[in-house]
Every structure is written in C-alpha cells, then in structure tokens.
Chain A
C-alpha cells in the first residue's frame, strides 16, 4: 500500500500562510502557497528550505495547486516561484488566475512603496509567476502527468475558490482550501461528490462554532442601514476590497432595488473596480439567483452603487459608503470615520473581525474617546455596530462535507489545535457509524495515513459499492468474498471457457476487458475484497461475473 505523507509548511494548527506538502505514491504536490499577515520578517512566508535542502523545487514538486486568491493562500507565490525558483505548473481556477495578480500587486505596493521593504518580489516577478499558471475549470480532470490527476470542485468562500481532488493511481486526497457550506448573496455552497478519497484535508477555522442563520444577520444589517438613512444619517461600512465587500454590495443593491430607495451608495474606488469587473465576468461561479438573472441584468452592474469621491464625504444628507480598509487602521475608511464620528445620527458597521490595536477594535470594545495622531482626541458619537459576515464552514458544515465525500481519513488544518481536538473527537464519534471510518490527525509533524480497507463484517460475499466510474470509463463493482485467494487465482475455466482469461503479475485477473482485482492484505486473513471493473462494451460479461461472484463461485474442477 502506497503511503500518503502530509507535511504542513504553514497553517498546520494556525491560520495564515497556508502551505501543505502532500506526497502520494511518489508524487509531491504543494497545496497553496500563502503568506502570514501578522509577520513582516522571514516568518511571513512558508519555510521552503524544508524542500530545497534536498535539491531544486522543480525537481521535487510535481505541481502546485492554489485554492483561492486570498493572500494567506497565494501571497508567497511570486517569492516561491521566482525568488526561490520553481518552474513547474501552478494550477488554479480561472477567477483566481484573474484576481490573484491584482491582489499580489497591491500587496507588493504596500510592502515596498509604503513600508519601504527591500528584497521583495517585483511587478515583473508577479507577471512571470502568473505565466506558469495553468487554469482549470470546475469538475475538469486535469492530467498533470501520466499518473497524477487533479480535479476542482466548487467551494463557495470567495469567487473562484475551489477544492481539489488529487489522485495518483487508486490513491486520492481531497484538499478543501477554505470553503463555505451555506450559500450567501453572491456565492453558492461548496459541493463535492461521493469521491471517497483516502484522505480529506479540510480547514477547521470554525471547528467549535455552530452559526446562526445567515438571514437574521442580513436582516439586522439591512434594518440598521435602512433606519439610519431614513433618519438622515450616514452609514460607513469599512471593508476589505474583495469578497465580503461584493456580498454586502449585492445585499444593499438588491435591497435598494426592492425597497425603491434613492439614497446614494458609494464605493471607494481603486482595487475594487478592477475586482468588480471580474465578478461581472465570472457569472458561472456565482449563486443561483445571479446566474439565473444575469441575462436580464448582471447583478454586479450596480445601479445604485457609484464610485466614491473624497469630496462626497462632506455632502449633506444620508448616504452609505463602503470604504477600505476594513479595520479602520488607515486610508480612506479612517478619513471618513473621522469626519462622521461626531454626529450621533451616523453609523459605522464593522462587517468583520478587527485586530487588536486598530481603531476598529477600539470602537468595537466600546471606547468612545480616541486618541488620534497629533494628540487630537476624537469623540465618537456615531453608533457602532458589529456584524459578522464570515464565509468559512462551521462545525456542522465541516461534518456535512465529510459526510458528502465519505473519506477514509480526515486531516484537519487551518485552525487552532484546541478546537481541532474537539472536532477530531466528533468526527471519530459520528463517522464511525459510517462504513468508512475516520481518523483525525492534527499534529503539524509528518503524517503517514494508513488508509484502511473496508472490512466486511459478514462472512458471506456481499456487494459493497458499485457504479459507473466516469474517470476510468469503467463500471466498477467491489465484492467482498470470504474465499481466500483461491477463487481469484484459479478462475473456473468451466464457466469462462469462451473468454480470454489472463493472469497479471500483480495477482489480478482479466477476463476480456473485465478486471478482477483482489484487495491488498486486510486484517482478517480469511476475507478478501474483490474489485470487478469493466468497460462499457463488456457490460454483459461484467455483470455476469459479478453475479457469479456474488453467488459464490461454482465448485469448478481446476
């Protein structure tokens, strides 16, 4: 049995700089290549020396897969490919390919131009890096080389986010990236078929949280905004440029449309405009409502939302403004906040988490007097609201995905160790009832996961699973039989005398195109698992053999 080795270079038991190295049957795949927001030194990028000590990256890695465009999943990519040096293929979805360079460029600008860092990757490096990218479609099986194939599934979370199935021979791993199991205003829910991977690597940001219905939050948000503008107040919504911002825009836009409101909504320009452009283009990646109505009107062609100009902040009358950045620590959002903070009619809505030390965090924890630069004291009279719009799966969502994919083992990453422990217990407890049993591994070291074959409890042969397998274009049926190797190695010629029977070196048998494989050693020596698979043309023979095996082989004189 080939081994699956998983080495997290980052985001093993924390969040940030996601980077996981997976080796399946001699193939090495790197999943995500992110940076850490919290650090400004070497720690912000994953430690690639773990690989480079053995030689060049390109020689070691077969491919790199990027799940979505958030910087903690793709931020280290130019550094990795251009500065450390990697020339192999990088796989990502089309929207990610489109939006990723915008974010990288923005990140580079802040690091180099604002903070004045040297030895950072350049614009040219980003461009060169993006040239190595191979874009994939959803559910498209990409053959990386003869043995390694990958396939993307929809993950929700942000536009273009995907989960990837990596398959080598009969071994497969599913890496979820970040995903969301509840649909929101612009994206659908993550979905995966029953692919029964050997290992499922899932994020676990909200391992110990079960969230309330999204509707309540949305309704609260809309009500707050609506009440404030009706009073004549101004609403400030500090957001990060991508992801939640678009969701909130759609939410407000449709609400304005429905309620026939005329109050202006502004969006601070720059990065967002470019990003919105891509949102308009990648309609197939959005949710049902947007997909269905885009023929009449593309929901991202905002009717009520206009570009913001600095001068607008002083305009009288109600308005709603989306401004970056999201934690009120600098830039436009902070400027507007300063102007409006003094009026109790106004309101600021924080749609996400704020890091300690930022203005956002201060006002959320109830501070009413803020010290600004230059010893000014700003009195905050405006209302401060908090609303959590997060697009990660909660504990229930994670369990739901695990249930959908039916993996043999589960590996939790991208979360806190303590929370993982809880989820691990739960997965073990609740999935043990399922035919495949789950194993949660949560230490950041090197793991080998010994996948366990299905153990039939009954002594009688029984059909475990069956169905058409689209990848191999073969119909598969696996049968458990209590006979030893006997039935397999000595096929009853009396039954199959008209067909060409071949013994293959690995112990399996072919009858015409029908392949009979005996499973590798199982714990019970008296039990074998037989996999019967056949091509479309040989359906008759295949189903005949299966039924034969099910009944038990006739006692054939050999």
Chain B
C-alpha cells in the first residue's frame, strides 16, 4: 500500500520530466546557440495571446539544457509580468514548473519570483498552476528548511481561496512539504512553524468533495513522508466514511487503515455504550462496513485493505464470516453448518428433502441485528459481490488473513471452497491458489474435498493444474478422502489425458503425505485377492501407473506396505523406478538391497562422494598442460565421458558437470585442431583438411555461446573464461582462413576485426585480466603494439605460435548452476494422422512446453518451425503465454500458426524451442560504456539462437484449395 501510494505521487510529479532527462544536448548546442534568446524573439514577435501560446507550446516540446534554464526562466518571467491573457500566464507558470525540475538546475532563484507573482495573480487557474510550480520547486529542494517553511506559509495563505482548484493545490503542497513538529524557527524571517496536520484536518469538512479528497490525500502524503499522524484524525476520518462522494470515502478508508496501523493498541470508546475497544478492531469493523458500500471502487479498496490488518483480534476476524440466517424469524442453519453436521453425524449423502433446511428455533426479535455494527459478515458480502474485482480482492484479503491465523483459515475454508464455483475463471483460479497457500493450516473435510474435486472436470487447463498443485499440499483426514481423490483424479485422467504428468506428480505427493491412509486401501487399489491370483494389469495404462505412483510413494515411509504387493507389483516397481525415477522413490524392498542402499537418505548429509569425484577429475585435467598432446587428448576425452555420466546419475550435479564438460570439449577441440597436419604443409595444397580445423572453430564458438547463455547462475568470472575461449576460437578461424584463402584483401578486414575484438575484450574484462596469467590473451596483449603495426601474414604467424604456447585456463565452478532445458509436451509427435489444412491458409498448432532454469523466458524463448523444404520460421510467443508455476520453472502454452503451399503428400515439420541470445546485453557495463553509446536497439535484438529442446515432428498436409 505504502509503496503504491508513493509510486503514485512520484508519477504525478515526474511524469513530464522523463523525456527531458536524456537530453540530446550536443545537437541543440550546435543548431541554436541561445535558446533563451530565440524564445525572447519569438515571444516579442507574438501579436496575440494565441500566437504566444503557440510559441510556448513549441518551445515546450524541446528540451532545455541545465545551463540555459536560468536565462529561459528570466525571459519567461519577464513576459509573465507583461502578459494579460490568463491562458498564456498559465502556460508560462506550467513551463516554470517543468523547467525547475531540470536536472542540474537549482530552482531556489526563481522561488522568490514565483511567490511574488502569486501574490498579484487574480485568475484561479493560474494560481493553481503557480502553486503546482512551487510544489515542484519545493520537492526539488527537500533539504532547505527555510524554503519549505516559506512555501507552507504561502499555501496556508491561499487555503481560503474560493476556487477548489487552488485549495486542492495548497493541500497538496502542504502534504508534500509541511512538517508536524513545532520545530524552532531557524531563519530570521520569523515564520512560525505551523501544525500542518491541524490545518489539513480542517479541510476535511470543506464544502467541495474534491477539496475533501485532496485533504485526505495530503494527510496520506504526510504519512508517506514518514511523519507520524495524530490519533485525533481518526474520528474525523470516520465521519468521512459516510460522505456522499465515492472518492472521498475511498480516500477515507485508506486514511483509517493508516491510522489503525499507527495506533493499533490504543483504546477508543464505542458510541452509545460505555464499552471500549482497541482502535485496530474498531477500524477493522468500519472498513468491513465499507465492503457493502454503494460504490464498487470503495468496496474494492476496503476489501483489499482488510487483508493487511493482521493485528485485529480473532474475535472480530471470525465475525467477518458470520451470517445469521433466519426464515420467518426462526433461526436457520447455513448450508455450511448443515454439511458439517451431516459429516460429523456420520451420514453421507442425503437426498435433499423439502424442509430439510426447515428453520428451527425462534429468534428473539430484539437480538437480530440487520445492519451489522461491526465486522459481521464482511467477507460473506465481499465474496458474493456483483463485481469480480471486489470478489478477487476479498479472496486475496482472506488469503492474507488466513495465513496469519490458523483458526481463521479453518473457518474460511467453506467460503473458499464455494468460490471454486465462481462464474469468472480468474476468481476461481485465485481462490484455488489462495487455498494452496493456506493449506498448511487446514485439513479438508470429506464433503469439502468432494466439492474441491468436482472442479477437476473443469475444462480450463489452468484451473485443473492449479487444483493438482493444491492437492499436492492438502491434508486429507480419512482414507475415504484419499480414495475419493484418487477416483476423481483418474476420472480427470480419462477425460483429459494431457494432464497425465501433472496428475502423477499430484499423486506422488498425495501418497507421501498420507502413507497411513493409503495402507488400508492397498489391496483394493491393486485389486489383490487373498486366495486368488488376479490378472496382471497393463503396465502402459496411465491410470494404473497413477495408482502405483500413489502406492509406492506411500510405501516409502510405511515399511509394512510392500508385504501386500503381489509379484507383478514388484516387477512393475522395478520398471517404473527406472522409467519414471522422478516419480517413484527408492524403496526398501525385501531381497532388493541394492536399490535402497544407493540413495538412502542417511548418506546424503555426509561429504558427497560424487562432488568429490567431480572436483578430482577436474583438477586432474587442469594439471594437464605439461603432458604430451596425445595423453592430454585422451585424458580430456575420458574426463568428458565421466562428467557426462555423472550428470546423468546425479541430477543436482548435472548443471556443473555439463558446464565443465562443455568447456573441456572446447579445449579438446582446440587441441585437436592445432594437431592437424595442415599446419606443417604448404597452405594451398590442403584445402580439404582444413575443414576439420574450421569446423572445430565453429563448434567452439557455438559451445561458448551455449555456456554463456544456456546456464543460469553463470558469474562474471566464468564469463571471462568463456569469452577467452571464444577469442581463441576466433584466432583459430583467422589462422585457418589465412592459410586457405588466396589473396590478402579479405585478410586485412579480418585482422582488423580480430584486433578490435581483442581490444573489446581488454576493455570489458580489465578487472579480470590479472586472473588470466600466462593465457592466450595475456600474451596477446603483451604483443599488442607490435600486432597493430604488422602485416596480416605476420599477425597470423604470431597468433599461431601463441595459440600453441598458451596455457589451459582453469574454469572456476560457480555456486549454483543449472542448465536451461525445455521439453515439448505437446505436440507429442506420435500422431500418424496428418494435420490437414488448405494451402495458403493457416493452421494453429497448440504448443505446450515446460522450461526449466530459463531466465527471462518472455524475451528469450522462441519457437522454431522447420519445413521439409528447409524453410525455417521463428515465432515469438506472447509474454502472456508464459506461466510461472514455480521458482525456476516456466510453462509455455501457445499457438503456432503453420502455413505452406500445397504438397502432394503429407510430410513432417519439426518444431523446436530456441533460446535467443545477445552477447552485448550480457556483458557487464564498464563505467565509460554507460554514456549511452550503445543504442537501445542492440539490447533487444537477437544475435543468435541456441536450440535447447528436442525437436518434435508434426505431420501436416496442406491440401490444394478447391476451386
């Protein structure tokens, strides 16, 4: 809230300045030597106010540099005094305000003038604008106490103005500059410090609603600035809650909230009784009352604020869900209460009878309170509101309050469950998410679970998946509940087979959370029989796998369970443990020790042997520069193989292992390329063999890009090494080209370019150069002056020797590194039925993919479609197509449009995901680069792409159009 308010205030005052900050100063200085002079001439030329206004408008479009502001201001003021037309004066006043905000200009010099002209001004609009200008000046000089005080004084003087606009601005000024403390008057002028709060408070009862709103906003502004408001305004604010105007009420609600956060514990009396309650409770009651306000803006505001009032006492909190029902003056039970009773009495389904909800006892007419005096039923109203904005706000507030109070969480459950049937999908989704957030505090009753599970049939994928997530972390109280959940999930699976993965995952958690509840269900679920052998279920049936996932995960903490398994269950276990290892845990099965011992949890806390292995093998490699090339190559090859295998085995080390393996591969390629025979033979003869070297150079380039952009958690020190490797690859490329091309002309350009690259490298990574002792670039930089002057042939020669002599750089491993990966779930690529469409028209292909460890997927992830004719098409998904289900995970659900000319027969197109990168955006900016030399376009453009998912084949058939 606070941040929001602050932001809004900032927006108001800085809006106009933004474009002016980046001034294209130099250009202007060249074309117009003196801006002020030009303006002066223009204004003198103006014959009519309309003309002058035009000139001023034109002038306002161009930025003014800080040095000439002063001059321009003088000119403007001069004209101001002469001008008779209020509209021109208004424009001048607004220009003054704009100019005073110019960076690097100190506006205290124009303040006196501004105050001066303020005193003689008659027009209300101009007055308001001048006050706005003063506000701009005042905010520019927050340190200068005297000026602030003077401005506050001016504002107070004009508060009695008859125009609401002027009063508004005065209040704004007071809110932004006034101070509460009666500080000692410091300056000689003897301006007494005023109690701004009192002054603003007086305007709470102004006759104009706009001024009332401004007064409240000014008060909130005071609070924003860190001044402590007095408790006395609480009563004033409460009166404003019944104002006729919604903006006043809305602001008043905010003010009450602020006061309640400032003085939660102070005691206020309840009117018309002798009792007293805490202020926060009283404020809570009042804000609750506003949830049934006539204006929906106020309702949203009130519902939102309720969520952040955590200090309120539980008694009041629980009242918000309370609604006493009656029918013909007799007490009636709510459906929730009935459901609860039904459940506790052990009855299950009862057909609803006429009069099942017949009212019971008589209600004492005196005791019924129809207009809730306090918090009563606020959420009941909020959740039933007409506008979905209010309902969402209420659900959010419910969530926040439930998170802080477990007992409230238990109580609000019924209402949240009801919201699962809201007509607006957003509301449904929000309430499911809310429920997930508070699921630690609650246990679902069976009838509630029933309602929750009914939503599993929803046709919206988001809803279903949110619900699966919810079920992952719910507590179920009975075995019937588990059974019900399983049955419904299986139903869901048959209806929407694409939910398979999500459902399996859900059952995994459901099983591991409730082992004891699953245990009695096992015989039934596996349909085993004490005497007879039953048929072995189909191992590929997703439903059967789902059941097994549930059981195996429950069996992990329930050692008695495997005894109930039949033979084929064990076989299936072994199969699933291998094929779906992320869903099926390792079990301690009788007679299968090997499975359980390897990854039993007791070992993990100790020093991880695989980590050690990784370290050791890397160290071994880094000591390699002294070995003979043949041995080095072999060692590298082995290590790469080891690392790859390690990555497959240990998922948590996969990132590091892959990362280092890639680096080693680059090194290996470099060594291999340098071992080529072509270096020993005269150049023109071995055109063909050079293929290997140039291919190696190309591949190293690719790999370095992968290293730089496909891993999350890469730090600067790794980037240096990666760039260094890329530089080596470029050098290699240069040498190979030099040897294979005839003629020197192309070589000149390449050399030039390469030396530029070296220069860039030096500039970007100057801080890291000391770490690169004895490396290629180190040596290169030593010889730089010589290289600059020598001929290309010579350069190539030097490079060649240096490449051979340079040492192998040690790649420091980052703390956390993850490889970005993507899996395309849909299209599955299994279909034999081609997607038929008329050629020339488009067909929409649904693409669903999960992305892991991708940073900023909205900008980097692209979809590529490769047609059989080699035509490739890159599609940029909309930012809204990306969902973020968890940290580090993203989900892309989008549609790709395919189109082609007619084909004679169906053929396959390939769909894959690409990671777009742009190295200039990644490079850490050095101080001298921040001047804006890089144009903004470079930052957003795509330098290249890395495919990072397996391609999926889609069978399509564009038919010729029928004439």
Contact = CB atoms under 8 A, between A and B. Distances in A.
B70 interface: no
B162 A213 contact: no
Contacts of A467: 209, 244-245
A210 to B, nearest CB: 5
A255 B421 CA distance: 9
A191 B918 CA distance: 56
A194 interface: yes
B676 interface: no
Interface string A401-422: 0011000000000000001001
A403 B294 CA distance: 9
B424 A289 contact: yes
A404 B293 CA distance: 8
A220 B354 contact: no
Determine chain B's interface SS by DSSP, over half rule: loop
B458 interface: yes
B454 interface: yes
B371 A422 contact: no
B605 interface: no
A433 B332 CA distance: 28
Contacts of A419: 328-329
Interface string A200-228: 00000000111111111111101110100
Given A289-B424, A403-B371, A183 B329 contact: no
A122 interface: no
B484 to A, nearest CB: 14
A385 interface: yes
B931 interface: no
B329 to A, nearest CB: 4
Given A212-B335, A400-B292, A403-B371, A463 B207 contact: yes
A543 B208 contact: yes
A543 B335 contact: no
Contacts of A546: 207
A260 B384 contact: no
B329 A193 contact: no
A223 B336 contact: no
A259 interface: yes
B365 A216 contact: no
A254 B354 contact: no
Contact of B351 (A385, A463, A466, A477): A385
B451 A219 contact: yes
A224 B450 CA distance: 13
Contacts of A212: 323, 325, 332, 334-335
A383 interface: yes
B327 interface: yes
A191 B246 CA distance: 14
Nearest to A221: B352
B325 A211 contact: yes
Contacts of A289: 388, 423-424
Interface string A423-436: 00110001101000
Given A212-B325, A466-B207, A395 B334 contact: no
A466 B380 CA distance: 33
A414 B164 CA distance: 46
Given A257-B459, A289-B424, A467-B245, A544 B329 contact: no
Contacts of B386: 183, 188-189, 287-288
Contact of A385 (B325, B352, B454): B352
B162 A539 contact: yes
A419 B495 CA distance: 51
A463 B205 contact: yes
Interface residues on A, range: 35 or more
A258 B460 contact: yes
B30 interface: no
A276 to B, nearest CB: 19
A109 interface: no
Contact of B354 (A189, A287, A365): A365
Contacts of B310: none
Contacts of B454: 223, 226
Nearest to B327: A209
Contacts of B209: 466-468
Contacts of B385: 183
A534 to B, nearest CB: 11
Contacts of B325: 210-212
B88 to A, nearest CB: 22
Interface residues on B, range: 35 or more
A430 B371 contact: yes
B244 A219 contact: no
A220 B421 contact: no
B797 interface: no
A286 to B, nearest CB: 11
Interface string B732-761: 000000000000000000000000000000
A385 B352 CA distance: 6
Contact of B457 (A182, A259, A395): A259
B324 interface: yes
Contact of A386 (B207, B352, B459): B352
B163 interface: yes
A422 B365 contact: yes
B370 A185 contact: no
A541 to B, nearest CB: 8
Interface string B459-486: 1100000000000000000000000000
Nearest to B334: A212
Contacts of B387: 288
A422 B369 CA distance: 12
Contacts of B336: 216
Given A189-B386, A223-B454, A465-B244, A364 B329 contact: no
B457 A210 contact: no
Given A208-B328, A430-B370, A216 B335 contact: yes
A193 to B, nearest CB: 7
Nearest to A433: B272
Nearest to A185: B423
A410 to B, nearest CB: 13
Given A188-B386, A208-B328, A365-B354, A260 B370 contact: no
A384 interface: yes
Contacts of B963: none
B315 interface: no
Contacts of B268: none
Given A217-B335, A259-B459, A224 B208 contact: no
A257 B425 CA distance: 12
Interface string A91-135: 000000000000000000000000000000000000000000000
B418 interface: yes
Contact of A182 (B384, B418, B421, B460): B384
Contacts of B422: 215
Contacts of B355: 386
A19 to B, nearest CB: 26
Contacts of B323: 210, 212-213
Interface in B442-462: 451, 454, 457-460
B60 interface: no
Contact of A254 (B351, B415, B423): B423
Given A400-B292, A467-B244, 14 more contacts: A183-B385, A189-B386, A216-B335, A223-B454, A258-B458, A383-B351, A385-B351, A395-B326, A395-B368, A396-B370, A419-B328, A419-B329, A426-B368, A543-B207
6 A-B pairs closest in CB distance: A216-B335, A183-B386, A364-B354, A215-B418, A540-B162, A260-B459
